[in-house]
Amino acid sequence: MRTRFTEMFGIRYPIVQGGMQWVGRAELAAAVSNAGALGIITALTQPTPEDLLREIARCRDMTDQPFAVNLTILPTLRAVSHAHYAQAIIDSGVKIVETAGRNPEPYMASFKAAGVKIIHKCTSVRHSLKAQAIGCDAVSVDGFECAGHPGEDDIPGLVLLPRAAEQLKIPIIASGGFGDGRGLVAALALGADGINMGTRFMATVEAPIHQNIKDSIVAASERDTALLMRRLRNTARFFRNRVAQEAEAVERMKGADLTIQDLAPFVSGQRGRLVYEQGDVDAGVWSAGMVVGLIHDVPTCAELVSRIVREAREIISERLMKTMA
């Protein structure tokens, strides 16, 4: 498959594994890249920039294919120097970065000088245009369906992606709600150059998380996610487990008086980490997208990527061609 994205980034298939806190480690990124898609290591999962350098080296031991590093620029409960992580990415020699959260402008000049291509992930047309204006090479556009932070506009991919395609010149990766070949064909039809998947890659053999979490994703329906922190204008989509429901109750009770301190005990990243390590689905909140409803198995990354490509080819060459005949 060839799109502007595969050409620009030198990968076989227009499929990206989005950055995932606690999940985006070397074994997953390497498996995705070995499957012909673009694997991404999540920088802030590593406690220090030095650990990130070691994680990147570990990934290189497992793949000779291109992979990227995600740098999420958002306020965190622990103090984080994003600049030091950005420098570690540059020092590592990795040539693709996925930025997300705040505007990556402070790091653009040093990434560019080091020949690092930047995919900025955002949730609106206006932020995509800004990313293009400051020199990002591509954007990943996250619709309302997505896991993690969907922004505050609540525009689903079906409208957001063609709107972005109308406005942007740089390649667009469609993100949020993608999990199979039908999604890939739809994304291409809407004007995107590829798809980004988070939740779908959690339910793979190589995802370094407890089997219980993968099984919960397979068992879940599209109604099993919850949006939290809307009143703080920091909306995030999580798996609707017991903790997420408790947090929802606190949000209802506090109403307009809600502060981050009220929610901190529920949304702490460290509690989320226990979920993945110990397999206790209710140990904390954990990100998941509506696409859980479309996930019915736990394949290897190679099986998943080749299945998506095969399905997409069949849909285009059989179902769609027959429709036109």
Ligand X SMILES: Cc1cc2nc3c(=O)[nH]c(=O)nc-3n(C[C@H](O)[C@H](O)[C@H](O)COP(=O)(O)O)c2cc1C
Q: How far is the CB of 61 from ligand X (least distance, A)?
A: 23
Q: How far is the CB of 254 from ligand X (least distance, A)?
A: 26
Q: How far is the CB of 158 from ligand X (least distance, A)?
A: 14
A 10 A CB-CB count for 57 gives 11
| Nearer to ligand X among residue 122 and residue 168 (C-beta) | 122
**Whole-number Å distance between alpha carbons of 214 and 232:** 30
> What does 189-228 look like in DSSP terms, one character per residue?
HTT-SEEEESHHHHTSTTSSS-HHHHHHHHH--TT-EEEE
**Whole-number Å distance between alpha carbons of 26 and 273:** 16
| Nearer to ligand X among residue 125 and residue 288 (C-beta) | 288
| Nearer to ligand X among residue 159 and residue 320 (C-beta) | 159
Residue ranges binding ligand X (CB under 6 A): 18-21, 23, 42, 70, 72, 100, 121, 142, 145-148, 175-178, 196-200, 202, 286-289, 291
CB 122 within 8 A of CB 141: yes
**Which residue's beta carbon is nearest to the bound ligand X?**
198
Q: How far is the CB of 209 from ligand X (least distance, A)?
A: 8
Q: How far is the CB of 218 from ligand X (least distance, A)?
A: 14
| Nearer to ligand X among residue 79 and residue 325 (C-beta) | 79
State both tokens at 150. 């969907």
**Whole-number Å distance between alpha carbons of 25 and 18:** 11
Burial of 310 (0-12, 13-18, 19+ CB in 10 A): exposed
Q: How far is the CB of 139 from ligand X (least distance, A)?
A: 12
**Whole-number Å distance between alpha carbons of 239 and 289:** 7
3-state secondary structure 269-291: HHHHHHHHHHCCCCCCCCECCHH
| Nearer to ligand X among residue 221 and residue 317 (C-beta) | 221
**Whole-number Å distance between alpha carbons of 290 and 222:** 5
The C-alpha angle 275, 278, 283, rounded to 5 degrees, equals 35
| Nearer to ligand X among residue 145 and residue 251 (C-beta) | 145
| Nearer to ligand X among residue 70 and residue 235 (C-beta) | 70
